[in-house]
Structure 1
């Protein structure tokens, strides 16, 4: 029997204080912004729309799994009778038991939990660095020199702290792919030698602003392996930064809440900040969500207007000086000078990676909150539906249903039409209902008597175009202050909804709920069926099926697919799969699917005393719930933006060396270039040495 692994930090999950400081402005150590009195999942069990009634009425959703087994959302999963590869032995690799077993796409020897300062991958696989922070990608871009870095140079180089990634085809260029990567935030203490946090220089501030945003870069494939190498110059390469001009579109464009002295019309915003999860649209554009934007703004506590102060508090804007002190050099970050500037962040943005001259857009119809992900799917009649999480303790899960159908093809008319699809439609927020008696949800993670955490739910409309569905709020207010609208209609408070991914095979939607240290704390919401553990430090994955398998439906069924943590912890659950045959997993964050329908999960701040990693898990068949660890990342790093292709896995290694006490002079990691070199975030490609498909 293995012992539970010790914690390495008192911070949420296993994350360092340095990460909390720079990524989210210590959000988890501030008062919870959501003080509404919404009902909890367990309070509304006796709903006429019970889960079982919906199941009787709804169509059976089947899964084209490798085994051919069909698993409907209302069916209890079956445990595997076949032993799996142990995931706990060895130092960096799972023990070999002959040919690796697992669901198709997951047939690799799992990497054991470890604390190595490296990207550790399965035996029989190889890897390379695709691109690092500071590598030039535009014409005229200079080679990276940490001692002579400038804002002008950074604006032509790959940005910092790579997070979400999208890969698109280049139809007329064989063996090349178009890579879009966003850059969440900057670690100034790891970027600048001798950095003085109390007195940053103008140049340092401007470099950091230029290091935010997105990079679009073409990468070349090695024909003999899965190696991928970014091209320094290509006509599609592009940088979008914290100063790039954005067009504001949708029903709140021109709103009085978006107007500033520099933009009196409220339709042109400079920059994008703290980009996290995203998505690729069916018409070939890329979406990215602005998340912890609140931390960049100063003097929120000094604002005297009570209404503005209330709105700031709900979005976590407060205090005096910001962490990075940008307000000293640019007044748009000083709320006393520009009180509406924070309202211009917290949106989903859309870029056209195939047109480097196009103007990126901020999409107001999708609402404003701490966006984590914007993952689309289409209705049967061709209307896009987007799923979105608000990454904050006790905040909400949303979807948007477009009013327009997508036009196929690449004609100019089709492109012009499709760029309007996310500007008209209905914005909804989710209310989850559990189907178990409240006394069976005791906060320990113990399964209720029916054997699953599950239930039904309702999509509550907030606004459609210029029509508000929320009493006391105009449509304009709903879009700009979406959290207040969701509070008013009684949405369900969740454990930090992060990435969201609809299955391309079944249409089921998977939601990563990362953790919530305040669940069940004094004066805070207690555990409920969708968030069943108090002081939740490991998180869970929720599986949602729309009523009648219609993405535009206003009802859904749900169940918890995984309740994460150490398998020896009785509060964990792996879709019914034997717990002694899974890899430990903690704090799920970014998720994606492979071609076989397996869900791949990257973690952020594992609370198990080991490094973050990338995990694959079967969602159907006899191995449903079998979690297998594919790789781990270096000291202090987070695994981000996973992409799983037939013969390649890509991960963004974010904030390596981000450990308390680290600095340029005292690094806590030697990745990726070895001792004596600056620690740099980077994108990594992994492939099978024999040229075969990943996990097949």
Structure 2
């Protein structure tokens, strides 16, 4: 009798994830040894050099590691951008009263926690499926048939497990937008009836290769509602897969560390893998983070393989049987060509996407950019691993405005030159210096403190003793270890507020914190055995793009509001929705932060939440929707008249398979369960939440 899931663990999994999700999404990362075993508490010389590069006048937020308090920066001062209140103020609206039913943009009846096998939305709202896995998007691609899948068909169809979403304008095409989607990973047990994980066929493997990657597809909106549908034929529609052509650019491109027997140049790469979240650039491109790439590679052996989580045995999907590049013994550098931020020009269907080496190599959850006063991009990035780090990149080039060919060509080089940094955070509450791990609110009423950005490399110059610049870019985790970066609780998506410049970082969870031999709590990661996660808010001196200092505080400490360890920016906890495991984040037009969750540990399905970041309702958090059985909420995109979410891995629960589905979503009983994109809008056609 065939065993469909011979390797599934019976141990409890991180958050509310099923064993099946952990197996196929990240290679059971939470059951592997924590990759970061470094003792990186001391970095005095490097931090001192970082601080000495800028005067204290220009970096008012910078303090030494030993300091207990900081002068908090005011964002955007003198820049023409929105100015944020200092972090020790609530940012209340002067003389303003409460608006009806919540902050503007959040005026809807919150969805109650539930376990329905459906996308559940507030009263007065409607929804539609925009596109499903397998829907054709390229000319000649066939209609999806579960029993007649082929790699050729999948290469022209919408990919599997949609994650990051972007909606971009299509000038001159009324009512149309361009949607870009990531396809993070494949779950072959749910894709193929009778799948044998010990003996995958070549066709199944090649279908999986084609189901990874990115999709670009034009969508058409209805004028009187928020409903949108995908267009199966459009000249900009595109599929990029695990075998498409990509280019390495930036300071490490061509490095011996990136050369293989097939590509001796070190600049031509086949494919992109495990694309999780991403970002949109001000110059019209999209960024895509390659995250759990390690799980696709077999037979790792080196210390750097171990630091990146590459196992010593066969891979789960057995791809190495069909392509030697996935066998580290045969191609030791192939894995170095994954774990980057990919930049895509969705307006040029013939362009070759670029992997930007200047942004470093790690498990990129996302890459979120914004511009400084003088037009230089700053990109924020999280490394989604227990006890790994938070990074930023500051470009040395200024963006050129306009849509001329010269401007576009120049802007496509912005992320190749600049400085890569990693964050060191220090709390200001003495009671957390010992890492109590209780999650109790400090005596000063906030989890907060200061921090420094430690430079790692600028161009071909390394700032890390004992490492070359190529080594810093290719083995960025090791560089973070050496300079004493702060070990965080799984830094995932990050988003700068377009109104205030404050940066919001989702820290999903870390149930290993405080275990024997593992780092204990600190003020930025205040709970041991942290299963619910938190969101960090960061403020910099925005008029100095190379500023080495910042102020920070925890905006939310997630969980059941009845739990005394939770915190909602000081808002009354009896008036917020419960939330667990924040993952993707996005802003709406009103400046509210929207949060999607992954692995809810509170007994409900994952969902999408909106929370006010300013005014007297700052911290007011309301659940907008929930997703079906086994699914994770991804995306999201929040526009005036619609919300877009990617419903990832529906039905992915223990014991499920293609022939024994655990969910009937989206098409009902007897049909294949298919990850899909959903649009939500108000029935009366008015704006969301007003």
Report the TM range for the smaller structure's normalisation.
over 0.9
In 2: Cα distance, 1:655 partner to 1:40 partner:
41
In 1: Cα distance, 2:682 partner to 2:488 partner:
38
1:12 corresponds to: 14
How many Å apart are 1:549 and its aligned residue?
5.6
User: 2:505 aligns to what SS in structure 1?
Assistant: strand
Deviations 1:12-31 (A, max 9, x none): 11100000000000001100
In 2: Cα distance, 1:439 partner to 1:165 partner:
38
1:645 corresponds to: 639
In 2: Cα distance, 1:532 partner to 1:48 partner:
18
> Does residue 520 of structure 1 match 2:511?
no
Any gaps of 5 or more consecutive residues in structure 1?
1-7, 63-67, 85-98, 304-308
Q: 1:577 to 1:80 in 2, by over 3 A?
A: farther
> Does residue 469 of structure 1 match 2:463?
yes
Q: Among residues 86, 111, 128, which one is paired with 1:72 in the alignment?
A: 86
In 1: Cα distance, 2:501 partner to 2:622 partner:
23
1:88 corresponds to: none
Q: 1:40 to 1:25 in 2, by over 3 A?
A: farther
Deviations 1:370-425 (A, max 9, x none): 00110000010000000000000000000000010000111111111111100000
Query: Which aligned pairs between 1:218-367 and structure 2 lie closer than 5 A?
Result: 218-300=218-300, 303=301, 309-367=302-360
User: 1:616 aligns to what SS in structure 2?
Assistant: strand
1:562 corresponds to: 556
User: 1:209 aligns to what SS in structure 2?
Assistant: helix
In 2: Cα distance, 1:378 partner to 1:490 partner:
28
Q: 1:549 to 1:610 in 2, by over 3 A?
A: farther
User: 1:570 aligns to what SS in structure 2?
Assistant: coil
How many Å apart are 1:580 and its aligned residue?
0.5
In 2: Cα distance, 1:20 partner to 1:70 partner:
39
In 1: Cα distance, 2:26 partner to 2:616 partner:
40
2:71 corresponds to: 54
Deviations 1:613-648 (A, max 9, x none): 000000011110011000000000000010000000
State whether residues 61 and 73 of structure 1, in contact with CA within 8 Å, keep that contact through their aligned partners in structure 2. no
Q: Among residues 653, 656, 661, which one is paired with 1:659 in the alignment?
A: 653
Query: Which aligned pairs between 1:358-397 and structure 2 lie closer than 5 A?
Result: 358-397=351-390
State whether residues 640 and 651 of structure 1, in contact with CA within 8 Å, keep that contact through their aligned partners in structure 2. yes
State whether residues 49 and 456 of structure 1, in contact with CA within 8 Å, keep that contact through their aligned partners in structure 2. no
How many Å apart are 1:76 and its aligned residue?
4.8
In 1: Cα distance, 2:420 partner to 2:11 partner:
38
In 1: Cα distance, 2:83 partner to 2:400 partner:
35
Deviations 1:131-156 (A, max 9, x none): 00000000010110111110000000
User: 1:623 aligns to what SS in structure 2?
Assistant: coil
Any gaps of 5 or more consecutive residues in structure 2?
1-9, 48-61
User: 2:426 aligns to what SS in structure 1?
Assistant: strand
Deviations 1:294-332 (A, max 9, x none): 0000111xx4xxxxx101000001131111011111111
Query: Which aligned pairs between 1:398-547 and structure 2 lie closer than 5 A?
Result: 398-439=391-432, 441-547=435-541
User: 2:22 aligns to what SS in structure 1?
Assistant: helix
User: 1:488 aligns to what SS in structure 2?
Assistant: helix
State whether residues 640 and 652 of structure 1, in contact with CA within 8 Å, keep that contact through their aligned partners in structure 2. yes
In 2: Cα distance, 1:249 partner to 1:475 partner:
14
In 2: Cα distance, 1:505 partner to 1:51 partner:
29
Deviations 1:503-528 (A, max 9, x none): 00000000000000100000000000
How many Å apart are 1:46 and its aligned residue?
9.1
How many Å apart are 1:681 and its aligned residue?
0.1
In 1: Cα distance, 2:525 partner to 2:89 partner:
21
In 1: Cα distance, 2:346 partner to 2:125 partner:
31
User: 2:551 aligns to what SS in structure 1?
Assistant: strand
State whether residues 388 and 488 of structure 2, in contact with CA within 8 Å, keep that contact through their aligned partners in structure 1. yes
State whether residues 75 and 541 of structure 2, in contact with CA within 8 Å, keep that contact through their aligned partners in structure 1. no
State whether residues 378 and 545 of structure 2, in contact with CA within 8 Å, keep that contact through their aligned partners in structure 1. yes
In 1: Cα distance, 2:541 partner to 2:353 partner:
34
State whether residues 260 and 340 of structure 1, in contact with CA within 8 Å, keep that contact through their aligned partners in structure 2. yes
Deviations 1:178-224 (A, max 9, x none): 00001000000000000000000000000000000000000000111
Deviations 1:357-380 (A, max 9, x none): 001111100000000110000010
1:33 corresponds to: 35
In 2: Cα distance, 1:330 partner to 1:212 partner:
16
How many Å apart are 1:444 and its aligned residue?
1.2
1:585 corresponds to: 579
In 2: Cα distance, 1:434 partner to 1:614 partner:
30
| Bigger mean CA offset, 44-53 vs 548-557 | 44-53
In 1: Cα distance, 2:462 partner to 2:588 partner:
39
State whether residues 128 and 227 of structure 1, in contact with CA within 8 Å, keep that contact through their aligned partners in structure 2. yes
How many Å apart are 1:73 and its aligned residue?
1.1
How many Å apart are 1:72 and its aligned residue?
2.5
2:672 corresponds to: 678
In 2: Cα distance, 1:199 partner to 1:9 partner:
25
In 2: Cα distance, 1:546 partner to 1:17 partner:
40
In 1: Cα distance, 2:678 partner to 2:597 partner:
16
In 2: Cα distance, 1:611 partner to 1:77 partner:
33
User: 1:257 aligns to what SS in structure 2?
Assistant: helix
How many Å apart are 1:336 and its aligned residue?
1.1
State whether residues 135 and 157 of structure 1, in contact with CA within 8 Å, keep that contact through their aligned partners in structure 2. yes
State whether residues 74 and 85 of structure 2, in contact with CA within 8 Å, keep that contact through their aligned partners in structure 1. no
State whether residues 592 and 643 of structure 1, in contact with CA within 8 Å, keep that contact through their aligned partners in structure 2. yes
| Bigger mean CA offset, 633-642 vs 432-441 | 432-441
State whether residues 212 and 273 of structure 1, in contact with CA within 8 Å, keep that contact through their aligned partners in structure 2. yes
2:53 corresponds to: none
Query: Which aligned pairs between 1:581-620 and structure 2 lie closer than 5 A?
Result: 581-620=575-614
In 2: Cα distance, 1:470 partner to 1:675 partner:
57
Deviations 1:19-71 (A, max 9, x none): 00000000011000001112299xx999478474422xx33679xxxxx9974
In 2: Cα distance, 1:259 partner to 1:71 partner:
49
In 2: Cα distance, 1:289 partner to 1:104 partner:
32
Q: 1:439 to 1:401 in 2, by over 3 A?
A: closer
State whether residues 77 and 576 of structure 1, in contact with CA within 8 Å, keep that contact through their aligned partners in structure 2. no
User: 2:148 aligns to what SS in structure 1?
Assistant: coil
